[in-house]
Amino acid sequence: MTEPRSHRPGLYYPKLPTTWWLHRPAYVRFMLRELSSVFIAIFLVVFLVQLYQLRQGPEAYAAFLAKLRSPGWIAFHVVALAFALYHSISWFNLTAVVQVVRLGERQVPPWLVAAANFALWAVVSLVILFFFLLRG
C-alpha cells in the first residue's frame, strides 16, 4: 500500500521574464485590459471620497472639487477614462463571443449581440448624462 501524500503536489509554473507580455501586441492588449481595472478601482475610491465630502458640507465639497481640478488629477482621470472606455469596448466584444444567444433554432450572430450591447451602453450613458444636464 502506498502512503497517502501528505501535501498536494506543487503547481508547475514555467519560468518567464516579468516582461513576457511586451513581446506581442495581443499580450500587450491583454495586459492593458487587465490594467484598466486598476484605473477604474482608483476612480471608484476617489468617487467614494467625493461622496463622503458631500456630507462634510458645501465648503469641504467645493474644496474637494478644486483638488480634482488640479492638472495632475485631470490628467489621471483623462487616462482613466480612456482605460474605462477600453474596458467597455473589449468587454462587449468579448461577451458577445462567449455568450451564445439563441432565437429558436438559430444562433444570433456575435456581432449582433455586440451591437445590441453597444446600443444599450450608449442609451444608458446618454440617459445618465441628460439626467445631470437637465436636472443638475
Residues that bind other proteins (CB under 8 A): 8, 11, 13, 16-18, 21, 31, 34-35, 37-38, 40-41, 43-48, 50-52, 54-55, 57-58, 61-62, 65-66, 68-69, 73-74, 77-78, 80-81, 84-85, 87-88, 91-92, 95, 120-121, 124-125, 128-129, 132-133, 135-136
Nearer to other proteins, 69 or 106 (CB): 69
**Closest distance between other proteins and the C-beta of residue 83, in Å?**
9
Nearer to other proteins, 9 or 104 (CB): 9
**Nine cell digits for residue 26:** 495581443
User: What distances in angstroms separate CA 102 from CA 42, 62, 95, 105, one per listed residue?
Assistant: 38, 51, 14, 7
Which of 94, 89, 98, 95 shows the shortest CA–CA distance to 118?
Answer: 89
**Closest distance between other proteins and the C-beta of residue 102, in Å?**
20
Other residues' Cβ atoms within 10 Å of the Cβ of residue 77: 16
**Closest distance between other proteins and the C-beta of residue 104, in Å?**
26
**Closest distance between other proteins and the C-beta of residue 50, in Å?**
6
**Nine cell digits for residue 43:** 476612480
Residue 8, class by beta-carbon neighbours within 10 Å (0-12 exposed, 13-18 middle, 19+ buried)? exposed
